[in-house]
Copies of this chain bind each other. A is one copy, B any other.
Amino acid sequence: MKNKKIYKAHIIYTKEQSRFEVLENGYVAVGADGRVIGVAADLASLDSKDAEFIDFGNRLLIPAMNDMHVHAPQVHNQGVAMDLELLPWLQNYTFPEEAKYADIHYAERMYRRFIHTQWLFGTMRSCVFGTVHTESTRLLMKLYQEAGMGAMVGKVAMNRNCPENLSEDVEAAIEGNEQLIAEFNQTDALVRPIITPRFVPSCTPELLKACGELASKYQLPVQSHLSENTSEIAWVQDLEKESTCYGDAYNRYGLFGQTPTIMAHCVWTSGEELEMMKRNRVMVAHCPTSNFNLSSGMAPVRTFLDNGLRVGLGSDISGGHDLCMFRMLTYAIQVSKMHYQLDHNRRFLTLSEVFWIATKSAGSFFGKVGSFEPGYDFDALVIDDSVLHPDEYSLLHRLERYIYVGDDRQIVHRFCRGKEITEPKM
What is A's interface to B at a CB cutoff of 8 Å? 76, 78-83, 113, 289, 292-298, 321-322, 330, 333-334, 337-338, 340-341, 348, 350-351, 389, 392-393, 397, 400-401, 403-405, 407
Contacts and interface: CB of A to CB of B under 8 A. Distances in A.
Contacts of A294: 337
A292 B76 contact: no
Contacts of A321: 330, 404-405
Contacts of A79: 400-401, 403-405
A341 B393 contact: no
Give the residue among A76, A78, A330 with the most B Cβ atoms within 10 A: A330
A348 B333 CA distance: 22
Given A292-B334, A334-B293, A351 B393 contact: no
Contacts of A351: 82-83
Number of copies: 2
Nearest to A403: B79
A401 B341 CA distance: 31
A334 B294 CA distance: 9
16 contacts: A79-B401, A79-B405, A80-B401, A81-B397, A82-B404, A292-B334, A292-B338, A294-B337, A295-B338, A295-B340, A296-B341, A298-B338, A321-B330, A321-B404, A321-B405, A322-B405
A265 to B, nearest CB: 13
A400 B341 contact: no
Contacts of A348: 295
A80 B390 CA distance: 12
A397 B80 contact: yes
B405 A407 contact: no
Contact of A293 (B113, B337, B407): B337
A78 B401 contact: yes
Contacts of A334: 289, 292-293
B337 A405 contact: no
A235 to B, nearest CB: 17
A82 B336 CA distance: 13
Contacts of A83: 350-351
Nearest to A336: B295
Closest CB pairs A-B (n = 4): A79-B404, A292-B334, A79-B401, A321-B404
